[in-house]
A and B are shown apart, each in its own frame.
Chain A
C-alpha cells in the first residue's frame, strides 16, 4: 500500500499538450478511478505513474519516494517502482503458459522456489483459473486472459496496481463479474488501485473516489461516486455521468421561461442563483415524471420505445426534445402509458442547476 501523488504534472508530445498542471493525490489503499472520454490522456497518466513515460513538467511520488521529476531529471525505471500493471490489451505473453506468465514476476525477484510456486497457485486460484495453469494464452477466452493478467499483477503483492480499461474487451456479463472481483480483491489485499476507464458505470461501481477528465485533459471534479453523481461540479460532469436533459432557461419579469421562447416552465432556480438571468436546468430521464394532471408544462410524445423494465420516451417541449424514462410496471398500474402523438404533462424532480452561457438544449 502506498500513496500516489502527482504534483504539477504536464505531458507534452511536441506541440500537443496532453496533460497540463495536473495535481492529484491518491490515498493509501484507495481505489481511485480516472474517468474520461477516450483521448483525454488518462492512459498517459497511468503510463507516467508506471514509469513508461517521463513527465514534461512536475513530480510524481509513490509513498514517500520521488519517482519522477522533470526538474531534477529523476526517473526511476518501471521495474523499480513496485507496481502491478494490467494493460488494456491484457499483454499476456503468448509464448508462456498461464503458470509461466503468473510466476514470472516472482522469478525476476528471485523468490524462493517453493514460495513462488505456492504464491503463483494462490494467485491463479484467486482469479478462478485453477486447472488451466498449463494452457497457452491462445487456448483461453478473452476473459480468462484478462484474469491471467490480473493474477500476474497481483502475485508480487505490489503496493500499487494500475489497471487500464481492463474490462473493455469483455462481454457485459463477464464485465460485471470481473468488476465485482476486482473490488473484492482490493478489499482483501488492501492494495492501492488506480483504474482508468471511460465507462462511468464501472467507475461508479468500484471506486472510492473518481477524477473526471474532459477531452482536453483537465480534471473537472474529484470525489466519491455518490458525491459526483449527486452533486456534479458542472454541466460536463453531469453529462458524462449518464443520459442527460439540459434545458436552458431564462428569467423574464420574474417568470421562468425556456430560453428564446415564451413557454413558461414551473421550475424555480435555487435562491442563490436567482440573480443570473440565464440558467441551465439539468435532469436525468427518470427525474421527469409523465402525468395526465395539468402541471402547466405540456409536452407532446414524439416517440415511445419499449425497453422491457423501462419505457423510453422522446417528448417535445416547445421546440426542444427531452428524453424521459418510466418504470413500465408502475406506468401500467397507474394508467400512465402514453402513445406517440399524445399530449402529456411533465413534472420535474431532482433538478440540478448550472450557470448557462447559451448552451444548446437537448438530449445528450
Chain B
C-alpha cells in the first residue's frame, strides 16, 4: 500500500510525495505526448510542408507571386475549373439520384424494399476506377462493345456513345458516389419522427404539400451533408478522370498533379505546381468539412426520435412496377454490367475478340495469380500494406480517441485540433505531403519503398479509425472504468479488462473500414509507387495504361472477389455484434 502516514512519520511522507509526483508524470501525459507526436509526424508535417513549399521560395521567403503565376497558367486554371465542374456535376446528379432512391425505399410501397436498400449500397463495393475502365471497354468510341453492337445493329459509321470527356467522367463518378447521399438521406427518413408528418396530415394537408413543406425541410441537413461528402470525394478523385479524361486532354487537380510529377520526374517546378494545387485542395476540403459539421450539428436535433416508426407510405399504384423495374435496371446497368464486363474481358484470350465462350480462358487468372511476378507482387504488396496499415492505424487511432474521449489531461485541445486534420486531407495531398516529408528531408528516405505507401495509408485512413473508435469509446460510460479502478485495478488493468473488451467491435470495424478501401487504393499509391512496390490498384491502372486490358481486367476481377468477400465478412462481424447487444 502506498498510503501516507500523517504526523508520525515525516520522512515517509516526503518520500511518498516524490513517488506521487513521479506517478503524476506517468501514463496520461505520456500517452498524450505520443498521440500528438503521431498526428504531427503523420499528418501535420506533410500538410505544413505542402503549404511551405507552395508559399515560399527556395531560400525560404514568403512568395505569393509564383502562386498567382501558377494559378494563372492555362493548364492549372483549366484543371481547377475541371475539378470544380466535375465536383459540381457529380454532386448535383448524386443528390438527385440519392434523394430519389432514398425516398423510394423508405417512403413508398415499393416491393422488396429491404433488398432494394441493400442493392443501392452495392455500388460502393465497386472501385470507381475499375468501373471507369469497364465503361471505357463498353463505350469507347473505337471498339467499345456497346458501340460496336449498335454500329452493326443500325448500320451506322459513327459510334453512338463517347465515354471520354467531362460528361462521361461526371456520369461514371455519380454511379459510384451517389450512395453517400442515399445512405445519409435514407437514414434520416427512417429516423424521422412520423408524428411530425402525421400532425400535418390530421390538419388536412395533402401528402404532396407535407412532403414539400415538412419532410423535405427536415431532411435538408442530411441531404446537404451527403452532397458535401460527394463533393469532397469528387474534388480530389483521381481514378475516373485519369481513365476517362487524360486520354482526351482533360485534367483535374489530382490528375494534373500526377502528370506533373511523373512527366517531369519530380522537378522543382512540378513539385511547386503540385503543392499549390494541393494547398487549394486542402483549403477547399477544410471548408467542406466545416460546412458539413455546421449542417449536421444543426440537423441533429430536428429529426431524431425513438425507434419503431411507421411512416406514411405513398401508394405508387400504377407506377409501382415500372419504378421497381427502373430501380433494378439502374443497378443492373451501373453495377452488374460493368462487373460482368470486368470478369468476361478478364477471361478473354485476346482483347478485342467478341465476348463468346470459345474465346474465354481461365489461364489469365492463373497467370496473374501464380506466374507473373509483377501482379503477384502487387497483390502481396496490397494485402501486406493494407493489413499492416489497418492494424497500426486502428491501434494508434484507438489510443488517440481514448485520450480525446476519456482522458483529462492538460493540453488535450492540441490533440483535439490535430485529430480533425485527417478528416480534411485528400489522398493526393497526402501522397504529395509524404513525398516531401519522407524523401530524406528529415534524415529518413522512404521514397520508392513500401514504407512511404505505408505511412501514407496511415495518414489517409486515420480519420476512419478515429471516427469508429471514438464512437465506440463514447458508448463506454466513464463509470465502467472507474468501477474497475475502485475495485483495485490500475489504469492499465482497467483498460485491459474493461475498456478494450467493450470497444473491441468498434476496433474490428475500424480495421475493416481501413483494410478494404486500402486494398483497392489508387489515388495515393499511384503517386508513391516504385519499381517493386506496385499495389493492386496501381497494377490495374498501369496494365490498363499499357494496353494490357485483358490482364488489367483479370486482376480487377480478383480484386473484386477479395473486396466482396471482405464486405461479407465485415457484415457478418458487425451483425453478430449487434445481435449480442
Contacts and interface: CB of A to CB of B under 8 A. Distances in A.
B501 A95 contact: yes
Contact of B490 (A61, A64, A77, A85): A77
A52 B17 contact: no
Given A73-B17, A75-B20, A93-B483, A105 B488 contact: yes
B4 interface: yes
A78 B21 contact: no
Interface in A79-125: 79-85, 87-89, 91-95, 104-105, 108-109
Contact of B482 (A52, A61, A65, A138): A52
B6 A61 contact: yes
A24 B2 CA distance: 24
A50 interface: yes
Contacts, number: 101
A149 B484 CA distance: 11
Contacts of B4: 65-67, 74, 76
Interface in B1-32: 1-6, 8, 13, 16-17, 20-21, 23-24
Contacts of B488: 79-80, 105, 108-109, 156
Contacts of A83: 486
Interface in A118-160: 138, 149, 152-153, 156
A167 to B, nearest CB: 16
| Interface band, chain B | 20 to 34
A49 B502 CA distance: 27
Contacts of A88: 479
Interface string A17-37: 000000000000000000000
B498 interface: yes
B480 interface: yes
B497 A104 contact: yes
A91 B17 contact: no
Contacts of A62: 3
Contacts of A138: 581
Contacts of B5: 64-65
A320 B491 CA distance: 58
B477 A78 contact: no
B16 A80 contact: no
B487 interface: yes
Contacts of A108: 487-489, 493
A195 B23 CA distance: 30
A105 to B, nearest CB: 4
Given A65-B5, A66-B6, A95-B502, A79 B485 contact: yes
A81 B482 CA distance: 13
A104 B498 CA distance: 11
**Interface residue SS majority, chain A:** mixed
A104 B6 contact: no
A96 to B, nearest CB: 9
Contact of B2 (A52, A76, A153): A76
A105 B485 contact: no
Nearest to A74: B20
A138 B580 CA distance: 10
B23 A77 contact: yes
Given A73-B20, A79-B488, A87 B6 contact: no
A271 interface: no
Interface in B223-255: none
Contacts of B479: 87-89, 91
A79 B489 contact: yes
Contacts of B484: 93, 104
A88 B500 CA distance: 23
If over half of B's interface residues share one DSSP class (helix, strand or loop), that class is named, otherwise mixed; here it is helix
A65 B2 CA distance: 10
A50 B21 CA distance: 19
B490 A76 contact: no
A162 B502 CA distance: 25
Contacts of B21: 73
Interface in A28-78: 50-52, 61-67, 72-78
Given A65-B4, A76-B20, A91 B487 contact: no
Given A94-B502, A108-B489, A80 B1 contact: yes
B482 A91 contact: yes
A57 to B, nearest CB: 17
A25 to B, nearest CB: 14
Interface string B329-350: 0000000000000000000000
A64 B2 contact: no
A152 B501 CA distance: 19
Given A95-B501, A95-B502, A108-B493, A76 B3 contact: yes
B2 A80 contact: yes
Contacts of A95: 501-502
A64 to B, nearest CB: 6
Interface string B309-341: 000000000000000000000000000000000
Contacts of A75: 20, 23-24
Nearest to B477: A89
Contacts of B477: 89, 91
Nearest to A161: B486
A4 B386 CA distance: 55
A138 B579 CA distance: 12
A87 B483 contact: yes
A56 B414 CA distance: 24
Given A61-B6, A64-B5, A93 B498 contact: yes
A138 B23 CA distance: 37
B3 A65 contact: yes
Contacts of B6: 61, 64-66
A78 B3 CA distance: 11
A78 B24 contact: no
A91 B483 contact: yes
Contacts of A156: 487-488
Interface in A307-346: none
A65 B23 CA distance: 18
A299 B75 CA distance: 93
Contact of A85 (B17, B486, B497, B498): B486
A364 B96 CA distance: 59
Contacts of A79: 485-490, 493
Contacts of B497: 104
Contact of A91 (B1, B3, B480): B480
A322 B20 CA distance: 58
Contacts of B487: 79, 104-105, 108, 152, 156
Nearest to B489: A108
A152 B498 CA distance: 15
A65 B378 CA distance: 64
B12 to A, nearest CB: 11
A63 B491 CA distance: 24
Contacts of A84: 486
A72 B17 contact: yes
What 10 A-B pairs are tightest by C-beta distance, nearest first?
A: A65-B3, A105-B487, A91-B479, A91-B483, A85-B486, A78-B485, A87-B479, A108-B488, A66-B4, A79-B488
5 contacts: A73-B24, A76-B4, A80-B3, A105-B487, A105-B488
Interface of B: 1-6, 8, 13, 16-17, 20-21, 23-24, 477, 479-480, 482-491, 493, 497-498, 501-502, 581
Given A65-B5, A81-B486, A84-B486, 11 more contacts: A65-B3, A75-B20, A76-B4, A79-B485, A79-B489, A80-B1, A85-B482, A92-B483, A93-B480, A95-B502, A156-B487
